[in-house]
Amino acid sequence: MVEKTRGRKEEVVTRDTFKKKAPKAIKEIRKFAEKAMGTKDVRVDVKLNKHIWSRGIRSVPRRIRVRIARKRNDDEDAKEELYSLVTAAEIPAEGLKGLGTKVIDDDEE
């Protein structure tokens, strides 16, 4: 008699793709900031990272409003002269309608 072993169904790896959702979201934010600001060095703020991971690895927020700032690198031994800092933007109380791109100087912050 032939022994019954585990079937093919048990060998197939399932439920594994959701383990990559939050890390992939961070990578996509980095990729967007790199393309938009033209810098290779992209730094993600701690609050933004916590917001993405707030609902766990698989339930990533659908939309996140971010603010990207291009800043000078003060390190003398840095490869790049500029870096991009990505932070979570606060949503105004009156809503998002009619908002556009706003250029902000460092003096204002």
pLDDT for 103 equals 78
Is residue 88 a contact partner of residue 47, using CB atoms and an 8 Å limit? Answer: yes
The answer to whether 41 and 83 are in contact (CB under 8 A) is yes
102 in helix, strand or coil?
Answer: coil
pLDDT band at 47 (very low <50, low <70, confident <90, very high): very high
2 pLDDT tier (thresholds 50, 70, 90): low
Query: Taking all residues of the chain, what is their mean pLDDT, rounded to a whole number?
Result: 86
Q: State mean pLDDT over 48-62.
A: 95
DSSP-H helix ranges across the chain: 8-11, 21-37, 46-53
Domain coordinates of the chain in residue numbers? 18-88
| Homologous superfamily, domain 18-88 | Ribosomal protein L31 (3.10.440.10)
